[in-house]
Structure 1
């Protein structure tokens, strides 16, 4: 598996969901994480696409590049500190899976 956004030691995995995001017949994984230190600071969604051989490629930068809550300053009030729940579903009815993280915002892929 690729390293998490906050690094292999500082990532706090909050939730994960699997589904065939790219339509190739293999389940892909969406992972939600925050930092361990400072605790729960920032939020990041990572998109891991199956290579079909048991390994995964991190395609977050091309599929979900704009994540303004990933690098929030934890010392500021109201910066969105905390975890969330990930779901994959066709929310907009276009036939492909969309990613939603229950943190007060909906993100479409």
Structure 2
């Protein structure tokens, strides 16, 4: 049962991390195509290490789910932490560059 929980938390964490990476990629692409987009592109470059680290941690957590119960617990903690970091970073970036009303 704990393994199933660990796997689900790890998958959710990977999805959150990839969502952040995808948003940064779209933002960077739009900034590079637009005149005057250099400040946005610079901001995106500063956020890549956070996105990459959270993605790597969530993938490592998913890998840990193939171990014992102790590794499953470690995977839950690691995946939850990286998932929270990814979601908070994504929300922060979206709030900074949200357009519309």
TM over 0.5: no
Which one has a larger percent helix, Structure 1 or Structure 2? 2
Structure whose CA Rg is larger:
2
TM-score, scaled relative to structure 1: 0.29
Which one has a larger percent strand, Structure 1 or Structure 2? 1
